[in-house]
Structure 1
Amino acid sequence: MTQAFILETRGLTKEFRGFTAVDDVNLQVREGHIHALIGPNGAGKTTVFNLLTKFLPPTRGEILYRGKPITGMKANEIARLGLVRSFQISAVFGHMTALENVRVALQRTLGTSFHFWKSERSLDHLNERALELLDEVGLADYADVLTVEMPYGRKRALEVATTLALDPTLMLLDEPTQGMGAEDVDRIVELIRRVSKGRTVLMVEHNLSVVSRLCDRITVLARGAVLAEGDYQEVSRNPQVREAYMGSEAAEEEASA
């Protein structure tokens, strides 16, 4: 039986004026998995995400979703297919309440994003679903709180709620725990584990503890190319991976310890 890959790249390459940021990357994300893209600073992780979500066009290569090419599609078109991205920096509206933020995201699925002339009451029918999503990410008590007044970790949870409002099949999470303390990291790890049920997650993540706790499969990038791939035990034992993260001397010391 062949594996079901929901997302694939073949020879994905991005060059900037002679500099190769992403170099012949072949990525296979299995449906239902939590798959991490990791690597040292400058490895090309975010550039890969930008290629997958159409914020950058590839120089060469192909992107496939459920076996069909989507390389030439626009960002809004792939979002309608179910590929939805959350960003490295929290992308919610600070002057709105948590409920209002989720309601705005729900509007996008109804095609009413730009109907600003309508009465706010016309959106009341979205409140029930918005409250369900807030409860799903542990923010039921924050429904009427302005986002600007929410702690950072709760803002990131709200961003997950707005992502879920778009009914994603494949969630792309860019550094979901960046800048968080240990308590918030634990909360987000549990949140990702919970919302991943019935979905596929591809995440860029720098925190290896998070990766070890969450991910079914890991792809390691270095200098824009795939350095290693496997589960956490496989990649953590790989001497090339240790060298890429810690430097050759530190990796040799750890290996001999």
Structure 2
Amino acid sequence: MSEQYVLETRNLVKEFKGFVAVDDVNLKIRKGHIHALIGPNGAGKTTVFNLLTKFLIPTRGQILFKGKDITPLKSAAIARRGIVRSFQISAVFPHMTALENIRVALQTAENNSYSFWKSGASLNKLNQRCMELLDSVGLAEFANTTTVELAYGRKRALELATTLAMEPELLLLDEPTQGMGGEDVDSVVELVRKAAQGRTVLMVEHNLSVVSKLCDRITVLAQGAVLTEGEYGEVSADPRVREVYMGTAKDKAPAEQEATQ
């Protein structure tokens, strides 16, 4: 594999009792790119993420990270290699403050999350880095706010900050703008753009306006298989993409359809 690719899958397959959820998927994620995985509901996008992070075990195929086969590794080992993901739903601790959430992530990154015998004061050394991460996602003023009190968009920003605390080389974002209004979506677009500096991002995203603004390359899945791949302009103009992604609106490109929703 060329060094220009951070992640590669080779003939990746996942079957569930005869149902093929991921069908011979070959991905090549270029270093430094923001790469989108799109497709209709049930196309297999989140299943691919679960395979990459070993929440699911592939039926067949290989996953390579920086040229090395990581298929046999477990989730924790993959995260330690530098592949870190977010989830469709917010995955922060609701009754901790924003700063405490970041501090937990930093403890995990330093492999001391189970040092129960240490005093809370011993963790204060992490506070400066916590504040830097909170500031990077526009949450510095909410450092001492209990997470449950944060607006939804800010919770998603906090989740991104906790993910960045793990210092990922490859960041997997699963529906980062799900459930957001226009203003929050614009904020998240800018956050993802900042988060992508110096790293590679693979994202599942339904909002095609977001994809068009952010992504260098797009892979379209349909029924578990790769339908096509390319830059947004060529993918959005592909009649096969219009058919599977837009249903009856075959005469509209995805960007046009997005504007009508």
Normalised by the length of structure 2, the TM-score is 0.95
Separation in structure 1 between the aligned mates of residue 62 and residue 209 of structure 2, nearest angstrom:
32
Q: Where does the alignment leave 5 or more consecutive residues of structure 1 unmatched?
A: none
Which segments of structure 1 move beyond 4 Å, counting only runs of 4 or more? none
What is the CA–CA distance in structure 1 between the aligned matches of 2:214 and 2:3, rounded to whole Å? 20
Distance in 2 between residues matched to 1:25 and 1:195, nearest whole Å: 27
Query: What SS does the corresponding residue of 2:226 show, helix, strand or coil?
Result: strand
Partner residue of 1:104? 104
The answer (yes or no) to whether the contact 2:3–2:66 under 8 Å persists in 1 is no
Taking the aligned partners of 1:117 and 1:101, their CA distance within structure 2 comes to 19
Q: Give the structure 2 partner of residue 35 of structure 1.
A: 35
Report matched runs for 1:53-202 at 5 Å: 53-202=53-202
| Number of corresponding residues | 252
Between the aligned partners of 1:38 and 1:168, the Cα distance in structure 2 is 22
* Other structure's SS at 1:193 match: helix
TM superposition shift of 1:116: 2.2
User: Which residue identity lines up with residue 129 of structure 1 in the other structure?
Assistant: R
* SS, match of residue 249 in structure 2: helix
1:240 aligns with 2:240: yes
Q: More displaced, 20-29 or 117-126? A: 117-126
Partners of 1:145 and 1:207 in 2: how far apart?
30
Distance (Å, rounded) in 2 between the aligned partners of 1:115 and 1:10: 40
What percentage of aligned pairs have identical amino acids?
71
Matches within 5 A, 1:202-213: 202-213=202-213
Shift, 1:207, TM fit: 0.4
Deviations 1:134-155 (CA, angstroms, capped at 9, x unpaired): 0011100010000000000000
Q: CA deviation at 1:3?
A: 6.3
Distance 1:231 1:210 in 2: 14
C-alpha deviations, 1:175-204, integer Å up to 9, x for none? 000000000000000000011110000000
Letter in 1 for 2:61: G
